[in-house]
């Protein structure tokens, strides 16, 4: 809440900025407005709020004493200041400790989870490979150790044709959606697993074709993570002649295969910790170059690691900047020179020794390759409200839904007519028992 002196100074600045336009306004108009009885109420409110404003001046001009909150109106500041930078460019994404400074419980949880994830992480590992060699022609490729291990999380950031508009130097490596869908992701993924697929800014067909690719891989879309580009350069990333509105976001579709019940499978997933929006300014692909949509926000790795506690993590189409502890990064551009310190090339025997091989079709409850369990972490994590009952008086058989989701490599499932459940899940809910299907 501003003081009377600060408001007077602000009015003087506004009056000076709009002096040419106010020169033709009769003085009688301002006098008549001041004489209106509503103006008296405004002045009385300002006088009574001065005392509380003085007491809270250390919290800034946007502090609201009534609500005890700080309100930053970026749109009003954009109009009042005459700046040419859009309001969204002023929204920044501070570090984790600063962002959750007012939520000590959540900050403690994130710090604890980071320690657990780091304790279970394998060394940063990379494999130089041309993924086009994985396309089935005419027989499916032999993936060796990768197919033996089966991954809990697969992150796919393909070089899309839509990036050619924003980063022309990347156009030579573009993949079509049919080629992306032909990748042997079902052979690499565990029965119960997640895929994160970057699909572009939404101005092209990425959102629709991305869903088709997930369906082809045997996954169903469950979330859409959005990266908001927050710098002034973000408005120049996309061409002005393609979309109706200049896009400043990139979409990452999250797909799930199998059935993971958030309330009972807490050893494998922790939900409700992060949001589906990441604010990050972006970076150029080349030093000194323009901001590009090709490098993705590093925070996505943290979101994935906090959400899925499986330690078998794989990234496709990676580069040296993507090599990270706890992940295997595969791409045609990884390797010397420029790999991060401590990164090692993948040796099949050594890499396989980092994990304990689960038996085929191993249930989630008996998985070995997960982040260590912590009672304190379990106590701090946000809880999901209890699920609704399928019928009056009949409990929802959550454990019977485990493993009844997407139907393996070839298909998602039979249609269920329900946006939330696959066909197998719908049958369980309808009949109440797997045995009565």
Residue 215: its H or E element: helix 206-217
How many other CB atoms are found less than 10 A from the CB of residue 149? 21
Q: How many Cα atoms are found within 13 Å in the side-chain-facing hemisphere of 14?
A: 10
- Residue-averaged pLDDT of the chain: 76
What is the structure's pLDDT at 269? 92
pLDDT of 195: 97
Instruction: Give bridge partners of residue 174 from the DSSP assignment.
Output: none
Q: Which two tokens stand for residue 292?
A: 């590009």
Exposed / middle / buried, residue 29 (Cβ in 10 Å: 0-12, 13-18, 19+)? exposed
Q: Long-range pairs for 420-429 at CB < 8 Å and ≥24 separation? A: 422/220, 422/259, 425/259, 425/401, 428/397, 428/400, 428/401, 428/404, 429/390, 429/396
What pLDDT sits at residue 231? Answer: 60
Q: Which of 265, 215, 230 is nearest to 406 (CA)?
A: 215
Q: Which distant-in-sequence residues (6+ apart) come within 8 Å of 356 by Cβ?
A: 368, 369
Nearest to residue 180, comparing CAs of 148, 212, 208, 207? 212
Helix (H) or strand (E) holding 278: strand 277-280
Query: Residues of the chain with pLDDT > 90: what percent?
Result: 35
The H helix count followed by the E strand count for the chain is 16, 11
Q: Which of 152, 191, 110 is nearest to 362 (CA)?
A: 191
* Cα–Cα distance, 268 to 422 (Å, whole number): 21
CA geometry: angle at 408 spanning 260 and 186, to 5°?
A: 95
Domain segments of the chain as ranges? 4-71, 96-366, 399-436
Q: What are the two backbone dihedrals, phi and then psi, of residue 144, each rounded to the nearest 5 degrees? A: 60, -125
Q: What is the largest CA-CA distance in the chain?
A: 88
Closest CA to 336 of 128, 82, 87, 43: 128
Check the CA dihedral 334-335-338-343 and report its sign: positive
Residue 246: DSSP 8-state: -
Peptide bond before residue 139 is cis, with ω within 30 degrees of 0: no
Query: Looking at domain 96-366, which CATH architecture does it have?
Result: 3-Layer(aba) Sandwich (3.40)
Q: pTM for the whole thing?
A: 0.69
Three-class secondary structure assignment of 69-98: EECCCHHHHHHHHCCCCCHHHHCCCCCHHH
- What pairing do the DSSP bridges indicate for beta strands 125-128 and 328-331? parallel
Q: What is the pLDDT of residue 240?
A: 46
Q: What is the mean pLDDT of each run of 10 residues along the chain (437 residues)?
A: 71 74 60 62 58 52 61 56 54 58 81 93 95 84 89 95 65 82 94 95 87 94 89 48 66 92 86 87 79 88 95 96 96 89 94 92 88 89 62 47 41 50 54 39
Alpha helical stretches, state H, 18-153: 19-22, 27-35, 37-55, 74-81, 96-99, 104-120, 145-149
pLDDT of 435: 37
Q: How far apart are CA 189 and CA 196, in angstroms?
A: 12
Q: Return d(Cα 278, Cα 258) in angstroms, integer.
A: 27
């Amino acid at each position: 809440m501003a003081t009377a002196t600060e408001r007077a100074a602000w009015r003087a600045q506004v009056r000076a900025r709009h002096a040419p336009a106010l020169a033709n306004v009769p003085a009688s108009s301002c006098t008549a407005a001041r004489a209106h009885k509503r103006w008296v109420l405004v002045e009385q409110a300002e006088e009574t709020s001065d005392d509380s404003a003085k007491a809270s001046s250390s919290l800034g001009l946007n502090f609201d004493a009534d609500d005890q909150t700080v309100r930053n109106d970026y749109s009003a500041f954009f109009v009042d200041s005459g700046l040419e930078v859009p309001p969204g460019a002023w929204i920044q994404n501070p570090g984790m400790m600063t962002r959750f400074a007012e939520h000590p419980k959540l900050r403690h949880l994130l710090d604890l989870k980071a320690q657990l994830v780091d304790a279970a992480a394998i060394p940063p590992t990379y494999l130089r490979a041309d993924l086009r060699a994985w396309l089935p022609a005419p027989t499916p490729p032999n993936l060796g150790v990768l197919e033996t291990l089966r991954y809990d999380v697969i992150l796919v950031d393909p070089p899309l044709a839509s990036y050619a508009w924003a980063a022309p130097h990347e156009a030579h490596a573009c993949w079509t959606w049919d080629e992306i869908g032909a990748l042997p992701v079902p052979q690499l993924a565990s029965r119960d697993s997640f895929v994160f697929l970057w699909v572009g800014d939404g101005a092209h067909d990425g959102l629709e074709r991305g869903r088709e690719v997930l369906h082809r891989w045997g996954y169903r879309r469950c979330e859409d993570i959005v990266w908001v580009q927050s710098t002034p350069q973000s408005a120049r990333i996309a061409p002005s002649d393609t979309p109706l509105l200049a896009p400043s976001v990139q979409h990452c579709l999250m797909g799930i295969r199998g059935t993971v019940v958030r309330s009972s499978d807490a050893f494998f997933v922790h939900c409700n910790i992060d949001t589906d929006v990441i604010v990050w300014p972006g970076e150029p692909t080349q030093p000194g170059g323009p901001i590009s949509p090709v490098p993705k926000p590093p925070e996505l790795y943290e979101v994935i690691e906090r959400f899925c506690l499986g330690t078998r993590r794989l990234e496709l189409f990676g580069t040296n900047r993507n090599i990270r502890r706890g992940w295997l990064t595969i791409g045609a551009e990884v390797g010397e020179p420029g790999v991060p310190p401590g990164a090692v090339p993948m040796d099949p025997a050594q890499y396989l020794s980092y994990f304990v091989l689960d038996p085929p079709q191993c249930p989630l409850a008996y998985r070995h390759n997960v982040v260590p369990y912590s009672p304190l972490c379990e106590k701090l994590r946000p809880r999901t409200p209890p699920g609704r009952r399928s019928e009056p008086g009949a409990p929802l058989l959550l454990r019977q839904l485990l493993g009844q989701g997407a139907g393996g490599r070839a298909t998602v499932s039979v249609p269920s007519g329900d946006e939330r459940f696959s066909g197998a899940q719908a049958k369980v809910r309808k009949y109440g028992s797997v045995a009565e299907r």
